[in-house]
Amino acid sequence: MTLERINGLYGDFKNALAKLQEALNEDLSKGNIIIDGTIQRFEFTFELSWKLAKSVLSYNGIEAESPRMIIKEGFKIGILENGEGWINMLEDRNKTSHIYDEKQALSVYKEIKDVHFKLLKNFDNNIAKFISKIEK
């Protein structure tokens, strides 16, 4: 894995994270479309986060294939904080493919807003630090 590839994935991740934040700032009174859109943006952001983490691990000579293993290894090297929170985020991401119930969608939305977004922001900060160290 090259630093150029990591930087490319990081740029995509940052864009997705900004879009997710934009969705989270929307007024829920606009209807379920806001919840649905936020969940979709969460899915994109989460997918990019574990792929970026996988790239960072690979750059460090650590091979991990599944998102669960990537979370475990990423936690070990300190690019992911709160390993249990990331596992919960993975489980919520897996649920989003099968949500047809408004109550469940709202529950996942609240987790994204109250917990998952903060973990993704911390990941953003940790990756920025990682890239900064390498580029010195």
For residue range 72-112, list pLDDT tens digits in order.
999 999 999 999 999 999 999 998 877 778 888 899 999 99
Q: Output the pLDDT for position 110.
A: 96
Q: Tell me the CB-side half-sphere exposure of residue 18, using CA atoms within 13 A.
A: 6
For residue range 3-40, list pLDDT tens digits in order.
999 999 999 999 999 999 999 999 999 888 999 999 99
pLDDT of 134 higher than 90: no
Give the CA radius of gyration of the chain: 15
For residue range 112-128, list pLDDT tens digits in order.
999 999 999 999 999 99
Q: Which domains are present in the chain?
A: 3-135 (1.20.120.330)
Residue carrying the six token digits 């969705």: 23
Q: Output the pLDDT for position 99.
A: 75
Tell me the H-state helices in the chain: 3-24, 32-59, 67-77, 83-96, 102-111, 117-135
Question: Model pTM?
Answer: 0.94
